[in-house]
Amino acid sequence: MPICPIDTGRYGSKEMRALFEEESRLQRYLDVEAALALAQAELGEIPQESAVRISNHANVSVVTPEKVKLKEAKTKHDLMAMVEVLSEECGEDGKYVHWGATSYDIVDTSWALIMRDASKILEAKLGRIRDLLCDLALKHKSLVMVGRTHGQHAVPVTLGFKMAVFAAEVARNIQRLKELENRLLVGKLSGAVGTMASQGEKAFEVEMGVMERLGLKPAEISTQVVCRDRIAEFICWSAVTASGLDRIATEIRNLQRTEILEVAEGFEASTQVGSSTMPHKQNPVDCEKVSGLAKVMRGLVVPALENIPLWHERDLTDSSSERFIIPFSFIVMDEMLTTMERVLKNLRIFPENMRKNLRLTKGAILSEAVMMILARRGMGRQAAHEALRKASIRAFNEGRDLKDVLAEMPEVTGLITAEELEDLLNPENYIGKAPELVERAVAAARQADV
């Protein structure tokens, strides 16, 4: 029975999971072996007919997972088990299988093929999330709501401004992924310790022939393995991107609190159940899942970093952990992106609650607006700050509107008229350049091509 939630189909799209399934990984091994044989035959290193036969048999319909597992039970080496099965299936031509190669020539190059396809899935989903955030940002660029710092009401902001901040971050993560792909998606064909000794005088030509067939570029230098800083960089990117999604999810979760309720996840009223005992519950379960999976993603960083310092030209301490962290990083990220896309598509927005919450502090969140006018009209910044600080405390302690307290202060009324004070304490008049900032951020975010 399945043990891991990924195996049950709970997390990750079918498209993403399929890339990391046993049969798919085996086929990638075989693809590399076929490319190797064809490249060597083209250069006269092995017979052409042998390469053709190896290529024709390098398929999981011939070299099946079952056959490989039976062989591995004897060899205790999964890659060598595949090599032996392919060799046997090719008969006399099998002696040219894996010619001059070491295991991780095949393993690391196949990882690059898998990660290339998996990265394309992530890029597409990140792009859609970026676009959803940009659309929300522009649509609500002037929808005023409470800005919060330290969990307290600060000054007004707009919902579109929040979304533009998120869109810009997602766009940066798209750019980071595209940049690191140049370092991540490389193959190797350099042999036992990376010197290419086993491939002879035509080693560079063989390498070029293999990589061109596979659509990869070769690592400029490697040991027995592609150096693990490349994989660690991707895992770190995954953790950064997951934390960005966690940031969006956490904001929505907080704004969905019953006493705030300015935005909320979608809820299937006809069928969805929020609690087994509380019928009224509408919980932010998708955002909570995103936040929970982000913890898993951040947890993968440590083993990825610890895989960088292998002994000498390599040891085997990276292999076992990579069987977890590479598939998990892609599949968990895929699930987080799918979930966040659904959240943003179905986001519920409650402008009436935003207006209500703007009034909770009875004008105190506009204290900065009054302070700056007083400062500009001669009071000076520090004196104006102190006057508004005292007025705000008094208004809070007496349960009064800030406007009424300020109207009793001669140092204020001498510089600001009653009509001006009314305008200053209108939240819609104190959003600064938020709409313009939204437009600038959205334009920049959309330039992060996917």
Q: What one-character DSSP code corresponds to residue 4? A: S
Give the span between the Cα atoms of 371 and 383, in whole angstroms. Answer: 9
Q: Is there a catalytic annotation at residue 150?
A: yes
Return the structure tokens found at 166: 């998120």
The 3-class SS string of 158-191 reads EHHHHHHHHHHHHHHHHHHHHHHHHHHCEECCCC
Give the span between the Cα atoms of 291 and 178, in whole angstroms. Answer: 24
DSSP per-residue letters across 200-264 = GGGHHHHHHHHHHHHT-EE-SS-SSS--THHHHHHHHHHHHHHHHHHHHHHHHHHHTSTTT-SEE
What angle, 0 to 180 degrees and rounded to 10, lies between the N-to-C axes of helices 103-139 and 317-345?
20
Chain centroid to Cα 162, Å, comes to: 19
Instruction: Please name the residue that has the structure tokens 């313009």.
Output: 436
CB-CB contact of 368 with 427 (8 Å): no
Catalytic one of 150, 270, 276, 280: 150
Query: What's the chain's length in residues?
Result: 450
Q: Give residues with Cβ within 8 angstroms of 340, minimum separation 6.
A: 129, 245, 248, 249, 286, 290
25-56: b or e for each residue (b if 16 or more CB lie within 10 Å)?
A: bbbbbbbbbbbbbbbbbebebbeeebbebbbe
DSSP per-residue letters across 317-342 = HHHHHHHHHHHHHHHHHHHHHHHHHH
Nearest to 206 by CA among 45, 91, 21, 30: 45
DSSP SS3 for 145 = strand
Query: Which sequence positions are flagged as catalytic?
Result: 150, 275
